Amino acid sequence: MCRILEKTILSDILRHLVLLILILVLSGCAPRRILNANPHPFPSSPAEKIERNKFSVDKGDDVIGRLAFLRLEKGDTLPDIARHFGLGINQISSANPGADLWVPAAGERILLPMSFILPDHPRTGIVINLASMRLFQFKENGKSVSVHTYPVGIGSAERPTPRGQMHVSRKMFRPTWYVPASIAEDHRKKGDPLPAKVPPGPDNPLGEYALYLDEPTYLIHGTNKPASIGLNATNGCIRLYPEDVKKLYDETPVDTPVNIMRQAYLTGQRNGVIYLEAHGSSGDSDAIELKTIYAKLRAMEKKSAHRIDWKKVENVLAEGRGIPVAVSRFQQKSGTGAERVIELRHPGRLYGRPEIPELKMDAWYVLAAEMGDKTDAERAAAIINHQGPPIPARVLLKGNRYRVIAGPFENLGTAELAVRRLKTDLEMEGILIEPPSKR
């Protein structure tokens, strides 16, 4: 039965290869750029760029960045959009409730939450807010303070990231990962035994750069799983996108203080306007947290030229979307108000988006799943593509069924490794498909 299934899958791959060759022949072997037929046109002059990571903070201000809108194109995933614009998955999903994370609709207008209220903490060194899953690095710059901010992945509920005051004790380029006994045991139970140590390379979960904290066994480091940024997915360490950790590594000397805290509710001002940012619904918070935030807002109102819209405060706390919202009541002719949300032009290429290799006749493949719904199959393929290290996958149609095919793989060993990873990471039972030359 499996042999018959493998043959039919192989015929699908060969049929798609023939179709691809035919398309190239008919087009004169010159690839064409297919223009986006977006039914919702952009404004006449959308912005090309927006600041993502580095900001200057004037004295008395607590809010940085701008909110922006972006219209999605076919094939976009929210994790790819998030990475390109320096956001975590938690931020972009919370800001866009109801949007499909892996197969959003082309033409859908999504909000990029690229504005942040700074944590309530002295602006020195590195400050990490676990509630927002963001790292803030402060540097004095004359009369103002500059801040670099990056999204992070943090510890799981079973192995949470520790809080408190620490410092960077040492740094390492291309670190070796010495596997802790507890993690080795977890993997052994899942049938995925790990070596005692993992050298630098694509399989190393620490990535290329690591900053070791004086709290033993905890690090700020890169990752080979970029789609985990903005998730509770680590064993307690702080994880950054590869491109972000390099900048942090270069700009952070040893002995830099690191303060890790959890502030679910943040208040601040910019240009005299009071803002509120909530991470998680007020229904998930205790009475002390809510009492504290209301006390802060009342104290700010007394010193402000604007009254607070308390109904808006309730809505922000109830929704918990992680977006700075102006809660001041504005006078229309006062000349002040919240920053206007801008529209961005879609980038020509999303940074870090997984590249799917072309089909090859003499390669190995893996049938990862077979589904009756096209969207479900596309979602599964997108999830597989965003594993770390990447596992290329695509959807092929066979009759009225959609097959998720992983590959191509150069040899049996890499195909078997993909099968094991699909089982361990995604609980998918992959079926090996050998190339014709091996039959």
CATH of the domain at 231: 2.40.440.10
Query: 122 CB contacts (<8 Å, ≥6 apart)?
Result: none
- How sure is the predictor about 76, in pLDDT bands with cuts at 50, 70 and 90? very high
Q: How far apart are CA 292 and CA 181, in angstroms?
A: 41
Whole-number pLDDT of residue 49: 81
Does residue 271 or residue 27 have the better pLDDT?
271
Q: Other CB atoms closer than 10 Å to residue 339's CB: what's the count?
A: 16
Rounded CA gap, 269 and 308, in Å?
A: 12
Phi/psi of residue 242, each to 5°? Answer: -55, -40
Q: Give the pLDDT score at 111.
A: 97
Higher pLDDT, 61 or 335: 61
**Domain membership flag for residue 71:** no
Residue 131 has pLDDT above 60, yes or no: yes
Residue 312 CA neighbour count, 13 Å, CB half: 15
28 within some domain? no
The overall average pLDDT reported for the chain is 87
- Position 283 scores a pLDDT of 63
Residue 416 and residue 291 share a domain: no
Q: What is the pLDDT of residue 280?
A: 83
Q: What's the rounded Cα separation, in Å, for the pair 118 and 128? A: 10
Same domain, 135 and 257: yes
User: Do 133 and 183 have their domain in common?
Assistant: yes
Query: CB of 404 within 8 A of CB of 377?
Result: yes
Does 239 lie in the same domain as 139?
Answer: yes
DSSP codes, 174-198: SPPEE--HHHHHHHHHTT----SEE
Range picked from 330-334, 359-363, 365-369 for highest mean pLDDT:
365-369
Over range 146-169, report the average pLDDT.
96
- Average of pLDDT values for 80-89? 97
Looking at the predicted structure, is the pLDDT value of residue 25 above 60? no
Residue 16 has pLDDT above 60, yes or no: no
Query: What does R_g of the chain's alpha carbons equal in angstroms?
Result: 24
Are 128 and 257 in a shared domain? Answer: yes
Of the residues 261, 286, 311, the one at which a domain ends: 261
Mean pLDDT, residues 311-324 = 94
| Residues 311 and 422 occupy one common structural domain | no
Same domain membership, residue 202 and residue 281:
no
Q: Is residue 408 in a domain? A: yes
For residues 337 and 439, the model is more confident at 439
Q: Which of 231, 261, 291 is the last residue of a domain?
A: 261
Q: Where does the pLDDT of residue 439 fall: very low under 50, low under 70, confident under 90, or very high at 90 and above? A: low
Q: What is the pLDDT of residues 231-290, one digit of tens each?
A: 999 999 999 999 999 999 999 999 999 999 999 999 999 988 999 999 987 666 678 888
The DSSP result for 363-428, as a single string, is SEEEEEEEES-HHHHHHHHHHHHTSSS---EEEEEETTEEEEEEEEESSHHHHHHHHHHHHHHH--
Q: How far is 392 from 74, CA to CA, in rounded Å?
A: 18
* CA–CA gap between residue 205 and residue 200 (Å, rounded): 9
305-309: long-range contacts, CB 8 A cutoff, minimum separation 24 = 305/272, 306/272, 306/273, 306/274, 306/330, 306/336, 308/274
Domain CATH code at residue 381: 3.30.70.1070
Domain range for residue 369? 2-22+357-438
Q: What is the mean pLDDT of residues 128-146?
A: 91
**Amino acid (1-letter code) at residue 376:** D
92 domain-assigned: no
Token pair, residue 111, equals 């909000």
- Binning the chain into helix, strand and coil, the percentages to the nearest 5 are 30, 30, 45
pLDDT computed for residue 22 by the predictor:
31
Please tell me whether residues 293 and 169 are part of one structural domain.
no
The answer to whether residues 241 and 137 belong to one domain is: yes
Give the three-class secondary structure for 94. Answer: helix
At 87, which amino acid appears? L
Has residue 199 got a pLDDT over 90?
A: yes
In a domain, 84, yes or no: no
Whole-angstrom distance, CA of residue 107 vs CA of residue 287 = 41
Does 275 map to a domain? yes
Q: How confident is the model at residue 34, as a pLDDT?
A: 30
**At 40, is the pLDDT very low, low, confident or very high (cuts 50, 70, 90)?**
very low
Q: Is 315 domain-assigned?
A: yes
Give me the pLDDT at residue 45, please: 57
pLDDT over threshold 90, residue 72 = yes
Domain count, the chain: 3
Residues 423-439 have a mean pLDDT of: 89
Catalytic residues: 221, 237
Residues 203 and 244 in one domain: yes
Q: Is the pLDDT of residue 415 over 50?
A: yes
Average pLDDT over residues 313-340: 79
> Is 79 among the domain residues?
no
Of the three residues 343, 365, 386, the one that is the final residue of a domain is 343
Of the chain, the percentage scoring pLDDT greater than 90 comes to: 72
| pLDDT classification of 362: cutoffs 50, 70, 90 | very high
Per-residue pLDDT at 38 exceeds 90: no
Q: Does position 192 have pLDDT exceeding 90, yes or no?
A: no
Q: What is the predicted pLDDT for the residue at 288?
A: 85
- Say if residue 149 is in the same domain as residue 237: yes
Query: Are residue 143 and residue 256 in the same domain, yes or no?
Result: yes
Mean pLDDT value of segment 60-79? 95
